[in-house]
């Protein structure tokens, strides 16, 4: 009897003008290959620096240049070039961890009905040092429980995701009109329309950013996350036990933005950066206007930040 060959997986990596980080990402994928597992890495590049092609070649990957806009455009271009029956993902600034992929593949092999599996992630600093605790923890649930979790602040990390090709063909491409959050929107489509599961395996390390360094970006992102929440939560009204449960989920989806703006305002005030304080306060009001107003009236860090900024101005 002929022994089965290695499992073959296409790994989709979008990139844009980050050749150094891309090299780290691709190296982390190749480190997981062995006699039982081989990867077709497909890199979708919509950048302009020109160095990505050399990095891709160095790691034996497939290079796909595209003029499609944003991360979803680059990811879709790479998906169209992928040829394996199983598809995994990694962003160009993150890295796979040694425990990734095999548990997801084992679960898919055990359950032929299952079409997508995701796992745990860990957030580190910009140098991939000082990692936090793995999340999600506890288990986000299955079926409707998983849908509720994903609409209440749990954002499955695409770097831990493995999907079957036929399920991707049924779901379709990522929405390129969503410049932020397109991967969450895409996974919500899997959770709502296909068979989607979670396994508690630590799969990817995310490269974090310091508070106050991407406030303008967060202001844009919160708008897209709100749109995605409403796009999927209203058609799935059946999963909410009450309007209050719906509103609690809405708050859970956006609260990380709110607290980013609050902490950023406090730190900017301590550093005497008045413009940064005002930008962060604006962000807080865009997310939760009534909560921001309450925190400005009460003796809170947000109020102290605004008063300190006003006195310096």
Percentage of residues in the chain with pLDDT exceeding 70? 98
**How much of the chain exceeds pLDDT 90, in percent?**
91
Tell me: pLDDT of 266 over 90: yes
| Calpha distance 21→209 (Å, rounded) | 14
For the stretch 129-140, pLDDT in tens is 999 999 999 999
DSSP letter at 242 equals S
Average the pLDDT over 281-286 and give the result: 97
Q: How confident is the model at residue 225 (pLDDT cuts 50, 70, 90)?
A: very high
Which structural domains are found in the chain, ordered by start?
7-207 (3.90.550.10), 215-312 (no CATH)
- Is 238's pLDDT higher than 80? yes
For 8-51, the pLDDT digits (tens) are: 999 999 999 999 999 999 999 999 999 999 999 999 999 988 89
What pLDDT is attached to residue 310?
76
User: What is the per-residue pLDDT for 207?
Assistant: 97
Whether pLDDT at 313 is above 90: no
Tell me the pLDDT of the chain averaged across its residues: 95
pLDDT at position 140 is 97
Q: What is the pLDDT of residues 93-117, one digit of tens each?
A: 999 999 999 999 999 999 999 999 9
DSSP type of residue 4: P
For range 81-89, the mean pLDDT: 98
pLDDT at 211: 87
pLDDT classification of 1: cutoffs 50, 70, 90: low
Beta bridge partners of 206: 123
pLDDT single digits (tens) 164-193 = 999 999 999 999 999 999 999 999 999 999
Q: Residue 2: its pLDDT value, please?
A: 58
3-state secondary structure of 169: helix
Beta strands in the chain (DSSP E): 7-15, 37-45, 62-65, 86-89, 95-96, 116-124, 162-164, 196-207
Alpha-carbon span 62 to 34, nearest angstrom: 19
* Cβ-proximal residues to 59 (8 Å cutoff; 6+ apart), any chain: 23, 26, 27, 29, 30, 41
Question: Cis peptide before 138, with omega less than 30 degrees from 0?
Answer: yes
Cis check for the bond before 309: say yes or no (omega within 30 of 0). no
Looking at residue 299, its pLDDT comes to 76
Mean pLDDT of 48-56: 93
């Amino acid at each position: 009897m002929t022994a089965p060959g290695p499992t073959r997986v296409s790994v989709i990596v979008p990139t844009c003008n980050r050749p150094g980080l891309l090299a780290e990402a691709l190296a982390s994928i190749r480190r997981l290959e062995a006699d039982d597992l081989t990867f077709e890495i497909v890199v979708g590049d919509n950048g302009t620096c020109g160095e990505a092609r050399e990095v891709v070649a160095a790691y034996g990957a497939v290079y796909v240049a595209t003029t499609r806009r944003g991360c979803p455009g680059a990811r879709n271009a790479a998906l169209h070039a992928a040829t394996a029956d199983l598809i995994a993902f990694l962003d160009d600034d993150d890295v796979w961890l040694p425990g990734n992929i095999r548990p997801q593949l084992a679960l898919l092999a055990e359950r032929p009905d299952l079409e997508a599996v995701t796992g745990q992630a860990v957030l580190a600093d910009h140098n991939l040092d000082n990692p936090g605790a793995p999340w999600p923890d506890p288990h986000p649930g299955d079926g409707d429980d998983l849908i509720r979790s994903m609409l209440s602040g749990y954002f499955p990390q695409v770097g831990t995701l493995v999907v079957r090709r036929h399920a991707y063909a049924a779901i379709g491409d990522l929405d390129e009109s969503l410049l932020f959050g397109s991967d969450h929107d895409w996974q919500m489509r899997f959770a709502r329309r296909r068979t989607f599961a979670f396994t508690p395996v630590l799969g990817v390390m995310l490269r974090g950013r310091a508070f106050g360094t991407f406030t303008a970006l967060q202001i844009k992102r919160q708008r897209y996350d709100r749109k995605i929440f409403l796009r999927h939560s209203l058609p799935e009204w059946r999963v909410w036990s009450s309007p209050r449960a719906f509103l609690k989920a809405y708050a859970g989806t956006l609260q990380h933005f709110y607290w980013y703006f609050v902490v950023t305002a406090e730190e900017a005030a301590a550093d005497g950066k008045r413009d940064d304080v005002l930008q962060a306060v604006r962000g807080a009001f865009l997310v939760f206007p009534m909560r921001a107003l309450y925190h400005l009236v009460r003796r809170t860090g947000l109020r102290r930040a605004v008063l300190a900024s006003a006195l310096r101005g």
